Amino acid sequence: MSYIEIKNLKYRYPGATELALKDISLNIEKGEFIGIAGENGAGKSTLSQALLGLIPQFYKGAYGGSVNIDGMNAKTTGTAELCRKVGLVFQNPFNQLSGAKDTVYDEVGYGLQNLGIEPDLIRSRIENVLRRFGIWEFRERNPFDLSGGQLQRVAIASVLAMEPEVLILDEPTSQLDPAGSKEVFRTVDELTESGVTIIMIEQKPEKLAEYCDRIALLHEGTLVAFDTPGRIFSREDLSDYGMCAPAFTEFAKKNGLGNADGAYPVTKAETLALIKERKPDKEELLKSLKDMSYGNPGAAESSKDTTTTNREPNDPSQDAENNRTAPGISRMSQTSDGVKDDSSYSQDNKMTSAVSTAGKPEGSLQTFSVSDLHFSYVAGTEVFKGLNLDFDMRSTAIIGQNGAGKTTLVRILKGLLKPDSGSLTFRGQDLGTKTVAELAKQVGYVFQNPDDQIFNHSVLEEVMFGPRNIGMSKETAEAHAHDALKIVGLDDICQKNPYDLELSDRKLVAIASVLAMNPDVLILDEPTIAQDHRGKEKIKEIIRSEASKGKLIIAILHDMDFVAGTFDRVIAMAHGEVLLDGTPEEIFTRSDILEKAALAPPHLVSLMNELSEINQ
């Protein structure tokens, strides 16, 4: 008898007509590390909730089949009893918090108190997990005052402190910096060695391939396959299920590096081992890795004089790629409401808004200029201590460790936060005199957590709200809303309540609500959260299309592969300072900077670095 047995599991949500889970059967042994993969809507989160008994005990609906964990029936065993054995880390860390505690320390201890653990043991466990995840220093902070990544660490720590025998994690690293993500995987991998069973839902195929014993591939509620990472990611039909293989596997396929059994390497170690065995042309492989690592989002040319002086060192240039609109992305038309033509700035506007900047090529258009910026949430503890930074029209990714000040910076640019001192201008105008409402037409901001942004009863009303607030007529606002929803692929569900949608779709609703306002600047805070491969490709297409229309795109991201293939410019931050500012290639070849910022290079860049050191 297996430790976890799922037999013919079926489930349909209340009010739904289609099954969310369709006759799923699989067995999991004690101490295994199991990955659950599939595109959004495949049934991954639903399956995780069935394992904890939340389905059908909390979420009602039609239920069939059985789930047994160490002999306990998840349908009939009370969730309070199941929680002693099974822990679940939710996809959205904001949903994990009890709301009953005012400090990180007490929040992590809340579950232990409910289990009746002795006080001395509670204190020991809390300190252990807080130190392990690097959040001991935040123990007296209110959890809701933390960054999204720090909050995700708190959510994971609060479940790990309960020491469950089965740990279910629903995309636990989506908001973590690469160093934090690595720590989570290392920790849960160590737990399997002590007999803890790990079941992880994850959109990062490289991580699943490296750590999982087996992967369950779901599609539209059906179990397609339950096999080793090598067999799952070598499937020729993987894209049919909305999945992509690890970057190493894609590289191996492109360069004919397959195994004798027809499978391909799925990890970096396997790929390097195969290269050493086959001894292909090293220079050709390095060229292929470079081509695959860095996209051509705006064909920005860099002056090779990189700097760490908090000033933009590189030069932008335009090419045909930068002037094309990506396929499937429509242009919003000029309206009688005074909404600008979406195609770019007018020549007159360019003449009046350009700001002279030393070292910039002629024609470079400066937008935001930050000079000697100081900001603090708490008196005496500064986030920024004299930050200097300029933005031009290049699409820009801001990367760095959780708590580096990335979100704080963009909220200051948006006007949501006011600096303590320093100068902040937009197209030469002092932002200190501008209100958030006055900036709304020019600067759009998509929050990290879409639930902080959404409040209307239908998707269409939500997306229309911004356009109506900046003066569009109802008819024009509705037209813009439908255009924006078509861009993100949600126009067919425009009458649904946004809170009935998955987190990934709520994020797209938030993006559409800002696109519909047609701002000059689009700021995206963690736009790829909860997105599957297709969702990420859609967001990449939106970024490139909006940039081609002459708009400034600024995004905060922890997905380095996405950054390398999407943006012209990257700003690496740590502890409120800019460490380096340059092209993706300039940033990701600086291992010293990446280490300071708790970052890791894109997967293929990492492979390229190691391959270049191999002597053949």
At 380-423, the pLDDT tens digits run: 899 999 999 999 999 999 999 988 999 999 999 999 999 999 99
The number of helices, as runs of H, and strands, as runs of E, in the chain is 23, 20
pLDDT band of 539, cuts 50, 70, 90: very high
pLDDT, residue 616, reads 58
Residue 587 burial (10 A CB sphere; 0-12, 13-18, 19+): buried
Please tell me the chain's helix, strand, coil percentages from 3-state DSSP, rounded to the nearest 5.
40, 20, 40
> Which tokens sit at 420?
């303590």
pLDDT, residue 364, reads 53
Residue 356 burial (10 A CB sphere; 0-12, 13-18, 19+): exposed
SS3 state of residue 612: helix
Length of the chain: 616
DSSP string, 34-52: EEEE-STTSSHHHHHHHHT
| Positive or negative: CA dihedral 80, 82, 86, 88 | negative
> Between the ranges 192-196, 255-259, 316-320, 478-482, where is the mean pLDDT highest?
478-482
Please state the φ and ψ torsions of residue 257, each to the nearest 5 degrees: -100, 70
Edge to edge, what strands does the sheet with 222-227 contain?
A: 86-89, 166-170, 197-201, 33-37, 214-219, 222-227
Which of 542, 492, 555, 564 has the alpha carbon at shortest distance from 327? 542
Mean pLDDT score, 466-474? 96
> Which tokens sit at 119?
């006080």
DSSP code at position 380: T
DSSP string, 471-504: T--HHHHHHHHHHHHHHHT-GGGTTS-GGGS-HH
CB 280 within 8 A of CB 263: no
Percent of the chain at pLDDT exceeding 70:
88
Residue 460 burial (10 A CB sphere; 0-12, 13-18, 19+): buried
Q: What is the pLDDT of residues 434-454, one digit of tens each?
A: 888 889 999 999 999 999 999
pLDDT, residue 385, reads 96
Q: What is the pLDDT of residues 279-337, one digit of tens each?
A: 999 999 999 999 999 976 554 443 333 333 333 333 333 333 333 333 333 334 344 34
| Positive or negative: CA dihedral 333, 334, 339, 340 | positive
How are beta strands 577-582 and 521-525 bridged, if at all? unpaired
Beta bridge mates, 525:
556
CB 563 within 8 A of CB 177: no
pLDDT greater at residue 355 or residue 218: 218
pLDDT, residue 298, reads 52
Q: What is the pLDDT of residues 36-59, one digit of tens each?
A: 999 999 999 999 999 999 999 999
DSSP string, 242-259: T----HHHHHHHHTT---
* Cα distance between residue 224 and residue 216, in whole Å: 8
pLDDT, residue 280, reads 93
H-run or E-run covering 156: helix 148-160
> Which tokens sit at 497?
């309540």
Please state the φ and ψ torsions of residue 411, each to the nearest 5 degrees: -70, -30
Q: What is the pLDDT of residues 95-143, one digit of tens each?
A: 888 888 999 999 999 999 999 999 999 999 999 999 988 899 999 999 9
pLDDT, residue 330, reads 38
* Cα distance between residue 86 and residue 168, in whole Å: 7
- For the chain, how far is it from start to end, CA to CA, in angstroms? 50
CB 42 within 8 A of CB 23: no
CB atoms within 10 A of CB 515: 27
* Cα distance between residue 245 and residue 234, in whole Å: 7
Q: What is the pLDDT of residues 224-234, one digit of tens each?
A: 999 999 999 99
pLDDT, residue 175, reads 83
pLDDT, residue 179, reads 85
Q: Which residue has the tokens 């289990």?
A: 115
Beta strands in 80-129 (DSSP E): 86-89
- Residues contacting residue 532 through CB under 8 Å, at least 6 positions apart: 38, 39, 40, 203, 242, 243, 504
> Which tokens sit at 514?
């800002």
How are beta strands 21-28 and 521-525 bridged, if at all? unpaired
Looking at residue 569, its amino acid is R
Q: What is the pTM of this model?
A: 0.84
pLDDT, residue 7, reads 98
CB atoms within 10 A of CB 215: 26
pLDDT band of 365, cuts 50, 70, 90: confident
DSSP code at position 137: G
pLDDT, residue 554, reads 98
pLDDT, mean over the chain:
88
| CA R_g for the chain | 25
Tell me: cis bond preceding 56? Omega within 30 of 0 counts.
yes
> Between the ranges 208-212, 347-351, 352-356, where is the mean pLDDT highest?
208-212
Mean pLDDT score, 206-229? 97
pLDDT, residue 296, reads 62
CB 169 within 8 A of CB 89: yes
Which of 437, 402, 435, 431 has the alpha carbon at shortest distance from 419? 431
CB 100 within 8 A of CB 110: yes
Which of 611, 612, 613 has the alpha carbon at shortest distance from 273? 611
SS3 state of residue 450: helix
pLDDT, residue 18, reads 95
pLDDT, residue 324, reads 34
pLDDT, residue 435, reads 86
Distances (CA, A) of 339 to 469, 476, 517, 522: 13, 10, 9, 16
Looking at residue 178, its amino acid is P
Please state the φ and ψ torsions of residue 44, each to the nearest 5 degrees: -65, -55
Q: What is the pLDDT of residues 162-187, one digit of tens each?
A: 999 999 999 998 888 888 888 889 88
